[in-house]
Amino acid sequence: MVKNRIRNNIRKLRFFQDEMTQQQLAEKVGVTRQTIIAIEQEKYAPSLELAFRIARVFDVPLEEVFSYETENQAK
Amino acid sequence: MSFQQKNIAVSLANFSLILGIFLIRVFQMIQEGSFNSTNVFRLWGIVIALAVLVTIFATILTHIVSAIIQAIKTGEENPKIEDIEDERDKLIDLRGTRVTYFVSSIGVFLSMLTFALGKPPLVMFTLLIFFGIVAQITGDISRLYLYRRGT
C-alpha cells in the first residue's frame, strides 16, 4: 500500500493563530471537524482547492502548510 | 461520531434487521413447503417497501435525535447539526458505493448461475434480493471502516 506522503503543519499554524480550534478552522474552510482531524493526522490528503483554502486562512503560501515527502526523504 | 457516520450506522442496523426478517421468512416458507411464486414475490414487495420506508424514517429520526442530543449538550434552543457533506464524505461514499456494486455484481452473477444450472427461477429471484441486501450491508460496513481509518 502506498503511504500518504503529504505532510502538514496545520496543528502548529493553528497554535500560532491564537490557538484556533479544529472546529473554527473547519467552519472557515467549509468542511467537518472530522476532516480537519484526518488531515492533521495525515490520514487524508485534501484536494488542491481545500489545501488553498486552508493556506488562505493562515495567510501563508501553500508550501508552508503542506509539503510532499519524496521516497528518499521518507527513509 | 459525525452525523454521516450516525446515518450509516442506522442504515446498517436497518438493513441487518431487514436481512434477518427476509432470512426468517424464507426458511419458514421452505419448512412449510410454501416456497412458491406468490409468496416469494410478496416477500420481494415487503422487503423493498421496508427498505424504502425504514430508510426515510431512520434518516428523519437520526436528524431529530442528533438535534436533541446537541440541544442537551449546548443548551441552545435551535442547535446547529453538522450535517454538511464535504469532499472526504463524498470520497468515502463513493468508495462504499463501489463495494456495494462489486458485491451486488457477484450476487447477480451467482443468481444467474443457479438459473443456468437448472434451478427454478424462484431461487434466482430469492438470491437476487438476498445479495441486494448483503451488498448494502457490506457497503455500509466499508464506509464505517473508512471513516474509522481516515479515508
Q: Dump strand ranges (E) for B1-151.
A: none
Condensed to tens digits (0 to 9), the pLDDT of residues A2-25 reads 565 889 999 999 999 999 999 999
The whole-number pLDDT of residue A4 equals 59
pLDDT band at A75; cut points 50, 70, 90: low
pLDDT of A73 above 80: no
The whole-number pLDDT of residue A59 equals 95
User: How far is A60 from chain B, CA to nearest CA, in Å?
Assistant: 23
User: How far is A14 from chain B, CA to nearest CA, in Å?
Assistant: 20
**B89 neighbourhood in chain A, CB within 8 Å:** 32, 35
Please tell me if residue B6 touches chain A, with a CB cutoff of 8 Å: no
Q: Percentage of residues in chain A with pLDDT exceeding 90?
A: 83
3-state secondary structure A9-59: CHHHHHHHCCCCCHHHHHHHHCCCHHHHHHHHCCCCCCCHHHHHHHHHHHC
Q: Which residues of chain B have pLDDT under 70?
A: 81-82
ipTM (interface pTM): 0.84
Please tell me if residue B149 touches chain A, with a CB cutoff of 8 Å: yes
The whole-number pLDDT of residue A62 equals 95
Please tell me if residue A31 touches chain B, with a CB cutoff of 8 Å: yes
CB pair distance less than 8 Å for B87 and A31: yes
The whole-number pLDDT of residue A71 equals 66
Gap between the Cα atoms of B45 and A10, Å rounded? 52
Gap between the Cα atoms of B94 and B137, Å rounded? 15
Cα dihedral sign, A59-A61-A67-A72: negative
Of A31, A41, A43, the CB nearest to B86: A31
Gap between the Cα atoms of B124 and B151, Å rounded? 36
User: How far is B18 from chain A, CA to nearest CA, in Å?
Assistant: 30
What does the pLDDT average to over A34-55?
95
The whole-number pLDDT of residue A11 equals 95
- Whole-model pTM? 0.85
